[in-house]
Amino acid sequence: MMNLSELAQEHSARERSAQERASQEQTLQDRSESGDTLTAEGERLLPLANMCAMTVDLEDYFQVSAFESFSDREQWQQFECRVEANTEKLLNLFEQHQIHATFFVLGWIAEHYPQLIKSIAKAGHEIASHGYDHQRVHHLSRQGFAADIRRSKALLEDTGGVAVQGYRAPSFSISERTPWAYDELANAGYRYSSSVYPVKHDHYGSPLLPRFAFLAHPDVLEVPISTLQLMGKNFPIGGGGYFRLYPETLMQWALRRFHRQAQQPYIFYIHPWELDPKQPRPFQLSKKTQFRHYLNLHKTEPRIARLLSKYPWRRMDELFLDKNEQG
Ligand SMILES: [Zn+2]
């Protein structure tokens, strides 16, 4: 098994072969549709290739990494809670569109709002872990990480009454800096992780790591957030601030192009606070952080609704784990 640095080196070779495959398939793809619907030919090639995974990072507005220096974990309980009402908006949208999603939930949220977790599980969504209190993996020791992922898994399983098999690192913080992370995830009983965003960003991202699902450990599959490769660079198209920044038509074009180029499931993520333009603004933030956090919040809900209506969304475990392994 390679470590993450070796994987990053291997990756450019793999990318080249993926690009060759993509160009070989170009003729077929050129004959396929140019609209929003998926191609029968694409589905025939690879059953999961045109699927999408809807994922929610379940945390409140004051728990994001960008606010970490303002928002002491000891004081989290003093902030106005918005996560229940905002998650309700997402649950309603998923119900309207008959979609089951994967919720990567903070253990802290499960501890403080157990009914919320129970209702998510009852509605048929997957419960996965986002760690206990949003500590980035490279800020923890190996032992600290092992304790964090065990604590959050146990809390979520006790609260939701379902097996927890997936993990997403806060701010996609598994990288070459944390070579022990996948061993610890396997030891703690996780089967997959979605903790890599292979883009360049000042707060997160590992642009040299693979763009598509890979076995990071014999027992743990890593499923990176989706990127689009253009002119040799990876562009983030899997959600977060970029989803609110890009014009909607550009996102739709990018998603179609991703499916044609990659022949892989598309992985998207969203936070409940992104549907809450009226959330409190208690911190003195830099202009850049303000822009990133508050941009176009009023547009998110209708945009998500349109995204849900256009594509076939699934839970992560449905797409990436064998049936008998699903919780
Ligand atoms: Zn998060």
> How many angstroms separate the alpha carbon of residue 168 from the centre of ligand 1?
8
Task: Tell how far the Cα of 222 is from the centroid of ligand 1, in angstroms.
Answer: 17
Going from N- to C-terminal start, the domains of the chain cover 4-18+51-325
What are the tens digits of pLDDT across the range 146-194? 999 999 999 999 999 999 999 999 999 999 899 999 999 999 999 999 9
196 CA to centre of ligand 1 in angstroms: 13
Query: How many whole angstroms from 104 Cα to the centroid of ligand 1?
Result: 8
Q: How far is the CA of 130 from the centre of ligand 1 (A)?
A: 7
> How much distance in Å is there from the Cα of 64 to the middle of ligand 1?
6
Measured in angstroms, how far is the CA atom of residue 58 from the centroid of ligand 1? 7
User: How many angstroms is it from 59 CA to the middle of ligand 1?
Assistant: 6
What spacing in Å lies between the alpha carbon of 169 and ligand 1's midpoint? Answer: 7
How does pLDDT run across 92-110, given as a tens digit for each residue?
A: 999 999 999 999 999 999 9
CA 70 – ligand 1 centroid, Å: 16
Q: How many A from CA of 215 to the centre of ligand 1?
A: 23
C-alpha 136 – ligand 1 centre gap (Å): 9
Ligand 1 center to 98 CA (angstroms): 25
pLDDT digits (tens, 9 = 90+) for 265-299: 999 999 999 999 898 887 777 888 877 777 788 88
Q: How far is the CA of 247 from the centre of ligand 1 (A)?
A: 24
Spacing, Cα 42 to ligand 1 middle (Å)? 33
- Output the CA 133–ligand 1 centroid distance in Å: 9
Please give the share of the chain, as a percent, with pLDDT higher than 90. 60
Predicted pLDDT of residue 289: 80
- Rounded to the nearest whole angstrom, what is the distance from the C-alpha of residue 253 to the centroid of ligand 1? 27
- Find the 23 Cα to ligand 1 centroid distance in Å: 36
Q: How far is the CA of 170 from the centre of ligand 1 (A)?
A: 5
Please give the distance of CA 211 from its chain centroid, rounded to a whole number: 13
Q: Identify the pLDDT of residue 116.
A: 98
Q: Ligand 1 centre and the CA of 29: distance in Å? A: 36
130 vs 73 pLDDT, higher one: 130
The pLDDT tens digits of the residues spanning 206-229 come to 788 899 999 999 999 999 999 999
Q: What is the pTM of this model?
A: 0.86
User: Which CATH code for domain 4-18+51-325?
Assistant: 3.20.20.370
Higher-confidence residue of 209 and 58: namely 58
